[in-house]
Amino acid sequence: MNKTERIYEGDGVRLDVYAASALDATRSYAAKLIEEGGVTVNGAVAAKNTKLKCGDRVEITEPEPEEYEVKAQNIPLEIVYEDNDLLVVNKPKGMVVHPAAGNPDNTLVNAIMYHCGDSLSGINGVMRPGIVHRIDKNTSGLLMIAKNDAAHNGLAEQIKEHSFTREYEAVVYGNLRADSGTITAPIGRHPAKRKQMAVTEKNSKDAVTHYEVINRFGNFTHLRLRLETGRTHQIRVHMAYIGHAVAGDDVYGPKNVIKKLEGQCLHAKKVGFIHPVTKEYMEFDSELPDYFKAFLKEISK
């Protein structure tokens, strides 16, 4: 069992909301844990809708995580390039990159395990074999997969040195004043919402995003963006920070989210890198997916 004890310093938040934040977990997971008696307030079991008061002692007891085997699954993959050392895939919107709590299967990792068999790097462990870099579930686009540790190390070093090309396209809210620009603002965990990232000076890392306008549509702008660094949710956080959140983003965007987009209108369009074995520069571009093109057509009317 894993036990943590905290003294609540606010006033009026629900127990399930507080527990979810403390555990960096979903609210449904926290609610289930409370219902099973895994969370107490001042030594007593409490309901999930209990309103906490300043000074309340909250003790959370989590069961040991279950170990499970990541299984290969015959899931269709759009492979853009493949050789003995790596492959480049075009991930669809809605697909999770690797298994985690709440998403044990039907991920990109399950698909590439079926396709590659044992030929995947093991640097990131059994849950993320071959994964060199990630994009969010509701972001579509290009990802590199390493088939061996040497390829993984070579690609990861390029990402670390910022010599790796990652170019995105996005539709954002509003009309940007400048035709191009650079956002330089450190990103770290949100101080209150542990599942989110934020521009913050505390426990953060430098983050740099370059952008240029492709087209303007009055209430929306079509952008090309290039990552100099690769922080979690970087483009989504940076664009929201300057007041132009990515359209459809239900985390960093406005409350009145564009539901038909089913997530942010963001596509990882291009990747470029030096092949870790042949040492040749390689670059791959992908067509904008149908959901993206349909939204562009709609806002251009």
Query: Does residue 100 belong to any structural domain of this protein?
Result: yes
Query: Does residue 292 belong to any structural domain of this protein?
Result: no
CATH number of the domain where residue 275 is located: 3.30.2350.10
Q: Which residues contact 83 (CB under 8 A, 6 or more apart)?
A: none
Count Cβ atoms within 10 A of the Cβ of residue 232 and give its class: 0-12 exposed, 13-18 middle, 19 or more buried.
middle
Query: Does residue 50 belong to any structural domain of this protein?
Result: yes
Average pLDDT, rounded, for the chain: 91
Instruction: Give the pLDDT of residue 234.
Output: 97
- β-strands 165-173, 220-227 pairing: antiparallel
Instruction: Give the pLDDT of residue 151.
Output: 93
In the numeric block, which tokens belong to residue 15? 């127990």
150, 210: one domain: no
44, 81: one domain: no
Q: Give the confidence band of 5 by pLDDT, cuts at 50, 70, 90.
A: confident
Note the residue count of the chain: 301
The yes-or-no verdict on residue 122 having pLDDT over 70 is yes
Q: Which of 111, 142, 161 is the last residue of a domain?
A: 161
The percent of residues above 90 in pLDDT, for the chain, comes to 70
224, 150: one domain: no
225, 146: one domain: no
Instruction: Give the pLDDT of residue 178.
Output: 96
275, 173: one domain: yes
Q: Which residues contact 157 (CB under 8 A, 6 or more apart)?
A: none
Catalytic residue, candidates 56, 85, 136, 249 = 136
CATH number of the domain where residue 50 is located: 3.10.290.10
Query: Does residue 52 belong to any structural domain of this protein?
Result: yes
Query: Does residue 153 belong to any structural domain of this protein?
Result: yes
252, 273: one domain: yes
Count Cβ atoms within 10 A of the Cβ of residue 61 and give its class: 0-12 exposed, 13-18 middle, 19 or more buried.
middle
Residue in 173, 170, 143 with CA at minimum distance from that of residue 234:
170
**Total number of domains constituting the chain:** 3
Q: Give the confidence band of 129 by pLDDT, cuts at 50, 70, 90.
A: confident
Instruction: Give the pLDDT of residue 82.
Output: 97
Least confident of 66-70, 230-234, 265-269: 66-70
Domain that holds residue 54: 2-62
Q: Which of 136, 161, 186 is the last residue of a domain?
A: 161
| Amino acid found at 92 | P
172, 271: one domain: yes
82, 192: one domain: no
31, 95: one domain: no
144, 171: one domain: no
90, 173: one domain: no
Each residue of 51-107: pLDDT tens digit? Answer: 998 889 999 988 765 555 788 999 999 999 999 999 999 999 999 998 876 677 899
Q: Give the confidence band of 233 by pLDDT, cuts at 50, 70, 90.
A: very high
Query: Does residue 157 belong to any structural domain of this protein?
Result: yes
20, 42: one domain: yes
Each residue of 38-65: pLDDT tens digit? Answer: 999 999 999 999 999 888 999 998 876 5
Query: Does residue 200 belong to any structural domain of this protein?
Result: yes
Each residue of 235-246: pLDDT tens digit? Answer: 999 999 999 999
Please state, in angstroms and rounded to a whole number, the distance separating the CA atoms of residues 210 and 238: 10
Q: Which residues contact 10 (CB under 8 A, 6 or more apart)?
A: 52, 54
Alpha helices in the chain (DSSP H): 15-23, 27-35, 108-116, 149-160, 234-241, 290-299
Least confident of 110-119, 190-199, 210-219, 269-278: 190-199
Q: Which of 62, 82, 97 is the last residue of a domain?
A: 62
On whether the CB atoms of residues 84 and 28 are closer than 8 A, the answer is no
Query: Does residue 293 belong to any structural domain of this protein?
Result: no
Q: Residue range 154-168: average pLDDT?
A: 92
In the residue annotation, 136 being an active-site residue is answered as yes
pTM flag (> 0.75): yes
Please state, in angstroms and rounded to a whole number, the distance separating the CA atoms of residues 32 and 48: 9
Torsion of CA 169, 171, 174, 177, to 10 degrees: 20
Instruction: Give the pLDDT of residue 18.
Output: 87
